[in-house]
C-alpha cells in the first residue's frame, strides 16, 4: 500500500536506514510468489533480502541471521512503518552495554504500538529455534526468548527494557487494517519528511483520532 508516495515497506526502510547504530539490513520475507513484490521493492532500494517459510518465521529469522553472519539481531516488523531511528538506536545502546541477551520496548510497553523494536543475541535466537516447537512460538519469533508463554516453552535469558519518558503505550500506530492505513497516512501527511515520534505525538494530540485510541 502507498504511504507518502511510496510502498509502506519502502517508507519504513528509509526510516530504518537513518539509524546510526545498526549494520546490515535484511528483509526476511517468504518464498511465496505473492511476495515477489517485496523482493522488487528491496532490489530497487539495494536492500538485502532473505526468503524462507511463510509460517515458520522463527526459522526464517535464523536463516537470515546465518546468511548475514550476524552476531546480534534486531527484529523490526513491517507493520510498524513509523518506526523511529532514535528508538532503534536507543535499544541498541542498552543492548551494547552487554548486560542483556534481549532488549525491547515491547515487554513493558510505554512507546506507542507501532514503534516496536527488539534486539537479541544470535545465540538466543539459535536456542529458541532449537527448543521452540509450538506453532505460536515459530510464528512470532521471540516469545520463547521473552518468556511470555511459559506454558509453551521459554528460555532463561537476561531481559532488558527500553522505556519512553512517559507511558504512551495506549497510542496505536501499527498498520493492520485499512482504517490504520488511513490514519497513518493522514498523520504522516501532516509531518515533515524526517519526523520523530515525539513530533508525531504532538501532532496527534491536536487531532485525537490520529492517536488510534479506541473511543469508549
Q: Where are the domains of the chain?
A: 2-174
DSSP 81: T
Mean pLDDT for the stretch of residues 174-199: 97
Contacts of 192 (CB under 8 A, 6+ apart): 199
Compute the distance between CA of residue 62 and CA of residue 66 in angstroms, rounded to an integer. 6
Compute the distance between CA of residue 142 and CA of residue 162 in angstroms, rounded to an integer. 16
Average pLDDT for the chain: 96
Compute the distance between CA of residue 159 and CA of residue 148 in angstroms, rounded to an integer. 12
Beta-strand pair 48-52/6-7: unpaired
Residue 213 pLDDT class (50, 70, 90 cuts)? confident
pLDDT tens digit sequence for 103-133: 999 999 999 999 999 999 999 999 999 999 9
Check pLDDT > 90 for residue 35.
yes
The pLDDT > 70 percentage for the chain reads 99
CATH superfamily of the domain spanning 2-174: Spore Coat Polysaccharide Biosynthesis Protein SpsA; Chain A (3.90.550.10)
pLDDT tens digit sequence for 55-89: 999 999 999 999 999 999 999 999 999 999 999 99
- Chain centroid to Cα 37, Å, comes to 20
Check pLDDT > 70 for residue 216.
no
The pLDDT > 90 percentage for the chain reads 98
The three cell numbers locating residue 44 = 530497487
pLDDT at residue 60 in the model: 97
The structure's pTM equals 0.94
- Chain centroid to Cα 166, Å, comes to 21
Residue 215 pLDDT class (50, 70, 90 cuts)? low
Contacts of 130 (CB under 8 A, 6+ apart): none
The three cell numbers locating residue 12 = 519504513
Mean pLDDT for the stretch of residues 2-13: 97
pLDDT at residue 159 in the model: 98
The three cell numbers locating residue 204 = 496527534
Amino acid at each position: 500500500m502507498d504511504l507518502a508516495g511510496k510502498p509502506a515497506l519502502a517508507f519504513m526502510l528509509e526510516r530504518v536506514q537513518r539509524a546510526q547504530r545498526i549494520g546490515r539490513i535484511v528483509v526476511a520475507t517468504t518464498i511465496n510468489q505473492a511476495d515477489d513484490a517485496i523482493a522488487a521493492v528491496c532490489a530497487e532500494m539495494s536492500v538485502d533480502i532473505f526468503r524462507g517459510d511463510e509460517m515458520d518465521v522463527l526459522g526464517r529469522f535464523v536463516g537470515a541471521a546465518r546468511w548475514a553472519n550476524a552476531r546480534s539481531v534486531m527484529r523490526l516488523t513491517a507493520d510498524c512503518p513509523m518506526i523511529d531511528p532514535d528508538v532503534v538506536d536507543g535499544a541498541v545502546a542498552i543492548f551494547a552495554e552487554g548486560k542483556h541477551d534481549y532488549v525491547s520496548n515491547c515487554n513493558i510497553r510505554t512507546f506507542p504500538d507501532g514503534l516496536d523494536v527488539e534486539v537479541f543475541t544470535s545465540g538466543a535466537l539459535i536456542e529458541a529455534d532449537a527448543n521452540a516447537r509450538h506453532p505460536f512460538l515459530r510464528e512470532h519469533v521471540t516469545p520463547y526468548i521473552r518468556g511470555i508463554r511459559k506454558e509453551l516453552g521459554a528460555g532463561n535469558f537476561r531481559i532488558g527494557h527500553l522505556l519512553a519518558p512517559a507511558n504512551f503505550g495506549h497510542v496505536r500506530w501499527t498498520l493492520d487494517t485499512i482504517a490504520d492505513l488511513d490514519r497513518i497516512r493522514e498523520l504522516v501527511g501532516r509531518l515533515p519528511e524526517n519526523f520523530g515520534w515525539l513530533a508525531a505525538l504532538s501532532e496527534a494530540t491536536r487531532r485525537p483520532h490520529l492517536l488510534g485510541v479506541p473511543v469508549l
